[in-house]
Amino acid sequence: MNALPRHIAIIMDGNGRWAKRRLLPRAMGHRAGMKRMMELVDRTFSMGIGCCTVFALSHENFLRPKEELEELFGLFREYFSSETASLKERGISLKIIGDRGPLPADIRALIASAEEDTADGTRGKLAIAIGYGGRQDIVAACNRLVGKGEPVTEQTFRETLSTGTMPELDLLIRTGNEMRLSNFLLYESAYAELWFSEKMFPDFTVRDLEEAIDDYRKRERRFGRL
């Protein structure tokens, strides 16, 4: 039986389809997704898993229609304004990974202060990927290392990625009935166990998360060995 994963990641896919099936606007799907994300993140830390990375917006998602982006930005504003104090209280440090450049300035400021306010948290690490792309992150790490003129090893490379302070990714969950990585945590997923759910993200409950983790614990992880 494996120990609990030390780092899990979730691709929160299917908000739009969840809303469409209910004849609701896509924005309602994202709102339901945010609520679900908060429950799952809480459960992750209460179970004793130290690190959680969630995919909220990809680099490519910045090309979505302006109205949808505005709805998502509204949720980001709500989340960072209202959740930072609770994360801090629970000792969870928050980090946003990805290119935050295209975000509105007020959200960038909210993120910067949320990161600063929670930086001392030692009980858990929450990374929210916004404007994130795995390939872009790999290229940025290469450039940083080349700029330093230091030898590139697997360790220095891993530490230079935006998830560099987190332990190895153990379990990657994707909802929304799609079986691909979509440019998320490409390097980090090398030996991650994968769990795909047919459920749309707002329907993926804490019980589903627990099932994925129970299954992970029963898997045989060989890392290429016999």
Residues 6 or more apart in contact with residue 218 via CB below 8 angstroms: 1, 2
SS3 50: coil
The backbone torsions φ and ψ at residue 197, rounded to the nearest 5 degrees and listed phi first, read -115, 140
Minimum CB separation of residue 175 from ligand FPP in Å reads 9
Q: Which is nearer to ligand FPP, 79 or 196 (CB)?
A: 79
Are 212 and 173 a contacting pair, CB within 8 Å?
yes
Examine the residue annotation and report whether 13 is marked as an active-site residue of this protein: yes
Examine the residue annotation and report whether 177 is marked as an active-site residue of this protein: no
Using the rule CB under 6 A, is 108 a contact of ligand FPP? Answer: no
Using the rule CB under 6 A, is 79 a contact of ligand FPP? Answer: yes
Q: Which is nearer to ligand FPP, 34 or 87 (CB)?
A: 34
* Structure tokens belonging to residue 165: 């302070």
Using the rule CB under 6 A, is 76 a contact of ligand FPP? Answer: yes
Site for ligand FPP in 162-221 (CB under 6 A): 176
Q: Which is nearer to ligand FPP, 18 or 216 (CB)?
A: 18
* Structure tokens belonging to residue 5: 């994963």
C-alpha–C-alpha distance, residues 210 and 39, integer Å: 12
Minimum CB separation of residue 4 from ligand FPP in Å reads 24
Site for ligand FPP in 3-62 (CB under 6 A): 12-17, 30, 33-34, 37, 56-57, 61
Q: Which is nearer to ligand FPP, 78 or 150 (CB)?
A: 78
Catalytic residue among 15, 61, 137, 170: 61
Minimum CB separation of residue 119 from ligand FPP in Å reads 19
CA 154 to each of CA 30, 164, 176, 191, 217: distance values in angstroms, whole numbers, following the listed order: 37, 11, 32, 14, 26
Q: What is the DSSP string of 155-189?
A: HHHHHHSTTTTS----EEEE-SS--S-TTSSTTGG
What residue ranges bind ligand FPP (CB under 6 A)? 12-17, 30, 33-34, 37, 56-57, 61, 75-76, 79, 128, 176
